[in-house]
């Protein structure tokens, strides 16, 4: 994902202004962030803004659409693989985690990860360590993780759709973006953009 595409966040409303203030305060730290909000509230836009304002901006902002990950290819997609490690591995592959080194990973729709995927992600999130499929060498990658969900976090944890230990690892702060109907001042400006 390129870092150039940057849209200004419309923030006429008090709600969005306070989110911009938080972005300002947290962007240059390395803390992980969970962004919640209904579909279309601008979660990805906010995540990108945090990345661009961070000292990771010169490196990649890698979007991982969790709903599109498949159990069999999860390790290869995230951590990469070496040629010949399985039948269809005809070339070496760089995984998301390596691509995002010194940059940011945006985990879109975290609750779509299966329990098994969550366990593997947790291991990486705790240590920054991983290994490519077919290569036991322990690799390290320094990534900041920004996660998003349009679900209610409390419910997802209660129903075991999101592991609590993973939640605590990914969440230093939760940024809740209110729906547009609760910040009507943003509508006219949004319509113009």
Ligand X SMILES: Nc1ncnc2c1ncn2[C@@H]1O[C@H](COP(=O)(O)OP(=O)(O)OP(=O)(O)O)[C@@H](O)[C@H]1O
151 binds Mg ion (CB under 5 A): no
* Torsions phi, psi for 55 (to 5 deg): -85, 15
Judged by beta carbon, residue 101 or residue 150, the one nearer ligand X is 150
Helices (H), the chain: 14-26, 43-52, 74-79, 96-99, 115-127, 153-158, 164-170, 186-192
Judged by beta carbon, residue 38 or residue 165, the one nearer Mg ion is 38
Among residues 126, 132, 125, 122, the alpha carbon closest in space to that of 75 is found at 132
Judged by the rule CB under 6 A, the positions of this chain that interact with ligand X are 7, 9-10, 16, 37, 39-45, 150, 186, 190, 193
Judged by beta carbon, residue 50 or residue 133, the one nearer Mg ion is 50
If residue 151 lies in a helix (H) or strand (E), which one and from where to where?
A: none
44 binds Mg ion (CB under 5 A): yes
92 binds Mg ion (CB under 5 A): no
Min dist. Cβ of residue 7 to Mg ion (A): 13
Min dist. Cβ of residue 192 to ligand X (A): 10
* Torsions phi, psi for 61 (to 5 deg): -110, 105
Residues lying near Mg ion in the complex (CB under 5 A) are found at 44
């Amino acid at each position: 994902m390129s870092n150039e595409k940057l849209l200004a966040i419309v923030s006429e409303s008090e709600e969005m202004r306070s989110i911009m203030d938080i972005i300002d305060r947290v962007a240059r730290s390395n803390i992980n962030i969970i962004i919640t909000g209904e579909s279309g509230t601008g979660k990805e836009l906010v995540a990108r803004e945090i990345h661009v304002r961070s000292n990771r901006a010169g490196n990649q902002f890698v979007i991982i659409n969790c709903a599109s990950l498949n159990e069999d290819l999860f390790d290869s997609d995230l951590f990469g693989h070496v040629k010949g490690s399985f039948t269809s591995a005809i070339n070496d592959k760089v995984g998301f985690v390596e691509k995002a080194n010194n940059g940011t990973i945006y985990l879109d729709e975290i609750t779509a990860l299966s329990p098994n995927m969550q366990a593997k992600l947790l291991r990486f999130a705790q240590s920054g360590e991983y290994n490519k499929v077919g290569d036991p060498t322990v690799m390290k990658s320094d990534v900041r993780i920004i996660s998003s969900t349009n679900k209610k976090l409390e419910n997802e944890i209660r129903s075991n759709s999101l592991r609590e230990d993973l939640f605590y690892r990914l969440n230093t702060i939760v940024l809740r973006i209110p729906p547009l109907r609760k910040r009507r001042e943003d509508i006219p400006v949004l319509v113009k953009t």
